[in-house]
Amino acid sequence: MFTQLITHIQKFVPLNIEEQKLVISYFKCEDIPKKKYLLSEGDTCNAQYFVAEGCVRMYFIKENGVEQIVQFGIDNWWISDYTSFTLHQPSQFYIQTVQRSKIITLTQTRQDELLDKLPKLERYFRRIYQRAYAAAQTRLIFFTDLSGEEKYHHFASRFPDFVQRIPQYMLASYLGFTPEFLSKVRAKNQ
């Protein structure tokens, strides 16, 4: 599993063998069963999660009791509640595995220690955070400008494999509409 992480890091920052060993020593690797929570609302998020394999979702519960998925993490993606992680405050989100997943965890304490020993990783994490922020901005445009049907088509054309990988009700939640609406849109286009 660590091979995927090292490969991902090296897309942004070169690491020699000794640096790779150092990096690996700071992470924890786990095989997590389906539907296991990595974070619950009200807990403080003390880690970032690299999804080596599988699928993880981040969601909150709206006032009406409905789940609203805000992010998925799939192979080679990072996921965390960065507000809770950075500000050390209780999270408003849940992070849960959708499928059995191989997760590589980096706690905030371990990250701080690692960055002290290997400062060039600051560049890697900066790039990851920039990409996450850019994705959030794109999603904001996506949600304010497109109709429900356009959202589905846009998402399905960009991530066709992903659409097949997750349950329909989760895709509907992520896109901001009901499973019934998603069924109608999918039926209309078959």
Amino acid 190: pLDDT = 66
State the Cα–Cα distance between residues 29 and 2, nearest whole angstrom: 8
Contacting residues for 14 by C-beta, under 8 A, at least 6 apart: none
Q: Do the Cβ atoms of 11 and 78 come closer than 8 Å?
A: no
**Which DSSP state fits 113?**
H
Which pLDDT score is estimated for 4?
Answer: 94
How far apart (Å, rounded) are the C-alpha atoms in residues 130 and 126?
6
Domains and CATH numbers, the chain: 2-120 (2.60.120.10)
Residues of the chain where predicted confidence (pLDDT) is lower than 70: 189-190
